[in-house]
Amino acid sequence: MTTFVLDSSTILRLLDSEPGADRVEEILTAHMNQSAEAIISAIQWGEVAGLVRKKHGVAGQIRALEDLAFFQMRVVPATEERAVRAATIKEDRKFPYADAFALELAIDTSNSVLVTADYDFKKVDDMARIEFLPIK
């Protein structure tokens, strides 16, 4: 079974009905049907919460997180070990720390595909399988 590691850009595409939202819906439907798994790092989850709050306020944040809870994605904690591995990726590859958590999770999860709309991941696409959502 494939495990889809979602980053914050993927969730934001879904919430804002932007290009690639249909693909994210397919992944989440497969997750709910148990034919695939959808996971997200706690760091990426927090990034979604913060960005939604900034754009839509407290009420919008609460509503968005409630809507996302419907899909029952597994939010993977940022453990001490994950934090060190993400820091290593950040330093070695000159990559944003929050994004390094998503990449680390994809590297650490067997049969995974990292799904993103962030084309900065192109510079680390040799480290994990990455599916890019369409450009806006």
pTM: 0.95
The rounded average pLDDT for each run of 10 residues, N- to C-terminus, in the chain (136 residues) is: 97 97 97 98 97 96 95 96 98 96 97 97 97 94
Evaluate whether 4 touches 110 at the Cβ level (below 8 Å).
Answer: no
Among all chains, which residue has been given the structure tokens 């590297």? 107
The CATH number that domain 3-132 falls under is 3.40.50.1010
Domain ranges, ordered by start, for the chain: 3-132
Long-range interactions of 29-36: CB distance < 8 A, separation 24+? 30/4, 31/4, 31/71, 31/72, 31/73, 32/71, 32/72, 35/1, 36/1, 36/2, 36/3, 36/4
| Strand pairing report for 74-76 and 112-116 | unpaired
